[in-house]
Structure 1
């Protein structure tokens, strides 16, 4: 799935560039009489805050993982995951061996500061193993727009080899309205003298016991402090309104007589816009990939999924009808797209969130005074969901396994004895996760069975 996502995103980038139609946002600012001199910060910090639901809950905020599936095979699926990603970029060289830490507030339930890793030269990210470059082969079929049927001029089919050779394809003209999204600019090894990150594989085991996923009930509200020997001390305080976003919940995934999929969802608090997408592998091999892609955008070849976007960028994309406004609560996946899905097809939902920014020192009110910045920090938010999709509809593992808010609602009108007896009957009737995930029976055998505490405190046995 990760390779399919990478191929799809690469194809989108190639097409947007080939069509020469990247929309440019207007960022004209007011001009003051005296231009204030600004010196860039020595350190730039970014924290990505993600809430994952559906299959994203299994991956603890990233791609669904084998270990996540094994945990589900023995103890059931989590209703949502909460995770963070940290990046620190500095124009300073470390004094000795590079070392920097992020201390979280007590409510985050992180019992010690997290050490950020400086990757080795040429080392790629944790989720991007080094692979030899292969020229993409195959084709990509584009659909776009919400509706029971695909709109006029659809689908558009492009072949990778013709694009790589620069040949003019008839379908390319249809994609002149393609829109590219500008992701949040993060610190990286290419724009920093010293760069560090989390999560990572900590060879020194300084982060033993720490995970990118935060426990249920954790909050990021409070003081955050980043210290190191190649960065000025960065400290900022997040209010309660800037903790994890709530998970994406579908209120309906109805398959109609035509085969179209009518989606409805609960509004996500703090969302600035939404994007829904389908990626379906028609055929995939070592050397080729035929992929069907659909986006909720009203414009072609606009596939904006699983990204962090600034509120300003989302506003631009909403204006271009490439992202759904935050007031939207429904969208129908065309029948042609649903019928083309096969094993491995994914329905993806992104709720782009707000952000928090901090800079020290503040801008001097006198424009004649140089603004010499020490550090800048940005906290970006998103809530994402991924589910399996087939011509039979959406496979909602969370609902099948009894997860989610609906199943957790207590029966206040029932006695504890009756309530717990009913809860036990419901658990016995739920299908096992090993019956839902391909290969799940094997995972269930490999998973170590252990006695889990009761999910509901009303049913806890006295000690």
Structure 2
């Protein structure tokens, strides 16, 4: 019987011995437009307090703040989502030879975060920010008014009007749109994460990941040493300018973000009992699910489909008066903007051309980048967050399949996010 058990376990052991060690690196830059540089580090706490976004502030003590789920939903879903720390580095290591074991990432001096970052398994109670239980769709009254497209005037056929008192199955298709595919590491007890309780050092304005990195730990391949270049560095902050009152067409402009391969903007606000949504998508997409990482191949397709703005776009206008009441009184509106950055895949040995399905590296590293900002519409503000103006070439990444929003289920999540339930 013992011999039979040994034979049964042999394939599992062999798989663990041959499976690659994997490191996921998610980099995110976030700002509040118009906030002076010296205050940006604490903007998360202020915005979270003003708009019910849950945790924020300059310190990231939990893995997962780089995720789009955090900026869209927050720790507790609300009108604007939560606002993450200024600069976030999320690391997740899967070491199949010693799963759930502490390790460390040796980093270059250019990061200014010490000699190495500890990678620690999550506690049993760990839950990623934004990974909240579905809950029930709140009972709400009023309407949703949905506008789309850049331009001074409201286009014919707009807005789409949704009576929130009706059956969600009837109005869910109006809000349904493309969502950034969920490709984050599915972290659990078998992973080792950063940030964690042992180290909460955050990247600074001059932090650079360019240089040599090495993962060290029991069972980690000695060869897991790799170089990161400018393509894999933190992105510059979005320098956004907003001009115009809510009763007018609001003119938005920005400097080109180096390495960005597409942009998307979305705004929401209250006008009386109604909730108003606007998206920069030119095809009528509600745009609520696009605030997360995208590969270059996916964003290129969605630029062609007029869902996203091209990397050469530097301006967009919000149609006149959509956030003002019929009497001309202004309500309130919050804008979100994202610049999608490069995604890189490293491995050892390097993946050969026309690699067979059986090919498997010793280790892999995936690095994703994005930059995002928020702004209060109706206030003339210039983007005051600094950033590098240099560029680097972008290499193609693996194309990811588009995912539909799921209609009623997704519509419920949208309602919970908008009304903070």
Is the TM-score greater than 0.5? yes
| Residue 238 (structure 1) aligns with | 228
Aligned mate of 1:276, from 252, 258, 265: 265
Does the aligned pair in 1 maintain the 2:208–2:233 contact within 8 Å? yes
Shift of 1:196: 3.2
How do 1:412-423 and structure 2 match up within 5 A? none
Q: Does 1:314 align with 2:299?
A: yes
Does the aligned pair in 1 maintain the 2:235–2:370 contact within 8 Å? yes
| Residue 220 (structure 1) aligns with | 209
Shift of 1:335: 1.8
- CA RMSD of superposed structures (Å): 3.7
Unaligned runs of 5+ in 2: 1-16, 50-54, 60-84, 388-421
Q: Does 1:195 align with 2:191?
A: yes
Aligned mate of 1:44, from 22, 29, 41: 22
Aligned equivalents of 2:145, 2:194: Cα separation in 1: 36
Quick one: structure 1 residues 61 and 103, their matched pair in 2 at CA, closer, same or farther if it must change by over 3 Å? farther
Q: Does 1:111 align with 2:114?
A: yes
Larger helix proportion of the pair: 1
Unaligned runs of 5+ in 1: 1-38, 72-79, 285-289, 407-463
Q: Does 1:294 align with 2:278?
A: yes
Q: Write out per-residue CA displacement over residues 362-418 of structure 1, whole angstroms, 9 at most, x where no aligned residue.
A: 2346857941222221111111111122xxx1363x77xxx5569xxxxxxxxxxxx
Aligned mate of 1:375, from 358, 363, 369: 363
The higher radius of gyration belongs to 1
| Residue 179 (structure 2) aligns with | 181
| Residue 288 (structure 2) aligns with | 303
Q: Write out per-residue CA displacement over residues 43-71 of structure 1, whole angstroms, 9 at most, x where no aligned residue.
A: 33221222222269736796745698799
Shift of 1:266: 1.2
Shift of 1:242: 3.5
| Residue 141 (structure 1) aligns with | 145
TM-score, normalization: structure 2? Answer: 0.66
Q: Write out per-residue CA displacement over residues 161-203 of structure 1, whole angstroms, 9 at most, x where no aligned residue.
A: 7455x3x34x84x66xx541334612113xx771233234x1x
Q: Does the residue aligned with 1:84 lie in a helix, a strand or coil?
A: strand
Q: Does 1:150 align with 2:154?
A: yes
Q: Write out per-residue CA displacement over residues 309-343 of structure 1, whole angstroms, 9 at most, x where no aligned residue.
A: 11111111111111000111110011243326734
Does the aligned pair in 2 maintain the 1:89–1:188 contact within 8 Å? no
Deviating more after overlay: 145-154 vs 112-121: 112-121
Shift of 1:298: 0.9
TM-score, normalization: structure 1? Answer: 0.61
Does the aligned pair in 2 maintain the 1:90–1:193 contact within 8 Å? no
Q: Does the residue aligned with 1:141 lie in a helix, a strand or coil?
A: strand
Q: Write out per-residue CA displacement over residues 93-120 of structure 1, whole angstroms, 9 at most, x where no aligned residue.
A: 53xx621222221100111422233223
Quick one: structure 1 residues 319 and 313, their matched pair in 2 at CA, closer, same or farther if it must change by over 3 Å? same
